[in-house]
A and B are shown apart, each in its own frame.
Chain A
Amino acid sequence: MSKIWQEFSKGIFKENPLLILLLGMCPALAVTTAVENGIGMGLASTFVLVCSNIVVSIIRGVIPNKVRIPAFIVVIASFVTIVDLFLNGYMYELWKSLGLFIPLIVVNCMILGRAEAFASRNSIMMSFFDGLGMGLGFTLALVVLSTFREILGNGTFFGIKLFGEGFEPAVLMILPPGAFITLGFMVAGVNAINKRREERSGK
């Protein structure tokens, strides 16, 4: 039980895919202009990650070593197609605002990275919790990033106006440069917290 908890929780902070491992930066920067999009992208990636982790873990004994990467990519691409069609059918608005970045979940290095580094070596149960933890960690990072950007750049949170008429939003934050700069400061913040933790445990 403690091992499951360990695999699950490592993705949330200690090995957060976006803030520590720096994987999956393209969708993270592109879609986080609003919190809604951030959550949508995070959950879509989590779904693909969990499913592909399970399937890769099931077929890990059958796939010859040489063709494993193309095989993983096919598995991932199938789940991405499912997500794409599902969002198109049931959540058209979200599908439109995520746009190009739904098919691009296929080349999110986070998902292929987990398939290769974890699911192809571990049991189904462990792979499931690893995928879930990593996916939620990614979602969490996206939510924080998009919260900053939406509040500063648009003056809203979840589309609700937060400030009075006098508030002049910093439009820069929802433009591309704001994404880079916000993520840069978030990575620096996480680094600083980790450094302080290390120093404390060292003493």
Chain B
Amino acid sequence: MTELLLIIVSAVLVNNFVLSRFLGICPFIGVSKKVETATGMGMAVIFVMTLASMITWIVEYYLLDPFNLSFLRTITFILVIASLVQLVEMTVQKIAPPLYTALGIYLPLITTNCAILGCAILNIQKNYSFIEASIFGFGSSLGFTLAIVLFAGIRQRLSLYRVPKSMEGAAIALITAGILSLAFLGFSGLVK
């Protein structure tokens, strides 16, 4: 039990996916102008990443491993994730229309989110068991959500202030992210 808790704490705070592993930077910079959209993106990522961790784990150990096909891992995982996103989109649209209207536009964007593929590959590299892999997927996406919501809050405030002309937009966003990452550096040492 403590081990699972440690995986979550480490994925959310210490090795935060965005701020210390640099995974999922594109949506992190792209969809973080408002807190609401950032929350929507975060929720969509939590949903897909947890599912993707479970399914890619099953694919690796029940399909690729027995047939010695692990060199096809990259190509298989990206296809699994792409079809999973499509499937999730259709299911959510059918079963929970309100959820779909909330997450709708963010779901297709997730296919090219490197955090999802990165998480799936990390699960295999770290030799996680099925339970650990799904917990790691959940924790990592939670960390992503925390980071993007905090960042959106800062950017919303920042938009009210005047910054130097050439710093506007992405430049100041990157420097803000750097300072946020500096703050998260304070958590290192929390978990070995």
Neighbouring A residues of B73 by C-beta, 8 Å: 103
Q: Is the CB of A30 within 8 A of B74?
A: no
Q: How far is the CA of A188 from the CA of B25 in the complex (A)?
A: 18
Least Cβ–Cβ distance between B162 and chain A, in angstroms? 15
Closest residue of A by beta carbon distance from B74:
A103
Neighbouring B residues of A22 by C-beta, 8 Å: 29, 170
Given A84-B74, A85-B71: A179 and B171 within 8 A (CB)?
A: no
Q: Is the CB of B75 within 8 A of A78?
A: yes
Q: Is the CB of A103 within 8 A of B117?
A: yes
Interface of B is mostly: helix
Neighbouring A residues of B71 by C-beta, 8 Å: 81, 85
A41 at interface by CB-CB < 8 Å: no
Q: How far is the CA of A104 from the CA of B118 in the complex (A)?
A: 7
Number of interface residues of A (CB under 8 A): 41
Q: Is the CB of B185 within 8 A of A175?
A: yes
Q: Is the CB of B178 within 8 A of A177?
A: yes
Neighbouring A residues of B117 by C-beta, 8 Å: 103-104, 106-107
Q: Is the CB of A180 within 8 A of B181?
A: yes
Can you give 23 contacting A-B residue pairs, CB < 8 Å?
A23-B26, A26-B23, A77-B78, A78-B75, A100-B122, A103-B73, A103-B74, A104-B23, A106-B117, A107-B117, A172-B182, A176-B19, A180-B174, A180-B181, A181-B175, A184-B167, A185-B171, A187-B170, A188-B166, A188-B172, A191-B168, A191-B171, A192-B166
**Which residues on B are within 8 Å of A, measured CB to CB?**
19-26, 29, 71-75, 78-79, 82, 112-114, 117-118, 121-122, 125, 164-175, 177-179, 181-182, 185
**Which residues on A are within 8 Å of B, measured CB to CB?**
22-23, 25-27, 29-30, 70, 73-74, 77-78, 80-81, 84-85, 100, 103-104, 106-109, 112, 172, 175-181, 183-185, 187-189, 191-192, 195
